Amino acid sequence: MKPELSYPLNDPIITQKFGNINPMYTNMGMKGHSGIDFYATNGTPLYATHDGLASYQVDGGGGHGVVVISHDKFNIDNVDTKIKTVYWHMCDPLKQPNFESPVADKTGFVPVNNGDLVGYADDTGLSTGSHLHFALKPVEEGEYAGTWMNTQVGNGYFGAIDPMPYFDKSTPIQIQLMKKQIGILSTVIALLKKILG
């Protein structure tokens, strides 16, 4: 089965597609843009696009973000693999504590569900303005979650693949509404079972 990803924000406006050629990326040793950029002003809430284990990370250039590794394996290019999604250029919690990621103060990987808040958009790191850089990478397991490597690391995009074919077009607000409806339905069923014995 192929991965199905919800959108990482409620108003998914794409400002830069995967693979766009730009000297900034070629100077970094890539063929082109290694993800999708979504329009997101400072403080825009960002959400997990699938269930998995999340880790808060900061790169050498001061970029803040979250990486989520899936629980399940999916078929990508005829290989069964887990996936890693990357949410980058998030707010720095030391500079904007009101926009701290719920994953930021945790150690290691923490469970998240599709539609859970993972952070807030900003322009930390190598960025020309506030937005979300979203990337998708197939990964293989190492001895523990922190050693997971990209299965396509030599593809010219540091292992990233185009996420666009994997979006199911659902938004976080739709997923959260569906979860509430399921919760209400479960409560009604439990009450009916109690009443009917």
By residue range, what is the domain housing residue 90? 14-196
- Is residue 106 assigned to a domain? yes
- Is residue 170 assigned to a domain? yes
Q: What is the pLDDT of residues 57-66, one digit of tens each?
A: 999 899 999 9
- Is residue 2 assigned to a domain? no
What's the mean per-residue pLDDT of the chain?
91
Q: What is the pLDDT of residues 148-183, one digit of tens each?
A: 788 888 899 989 999 999 999 999 888 888 888 888
Split into its structural domains, the chain has a count of: 1
- Is residue 8 assigned to a domain? no
CB-based contacts of 169: which residues, under 8 Å, 6+ apart? 7
Helix (H) or strand (E) holding 55: strand 52-58
User: What is the mean predicted confidence (pLDDT) over 20-45?
Assistant: 91
Q: What is the pLDDT of residues 37-48, one digit of tens each?
A: 999 999 999 999
- Is residue 5 assigned to a domain? no
Taking alpha carbons only, the member of 121, 114, 126, 131 closest to residue 172 is 114
Domain containing 74 — which CATH number?
2.70.70.10
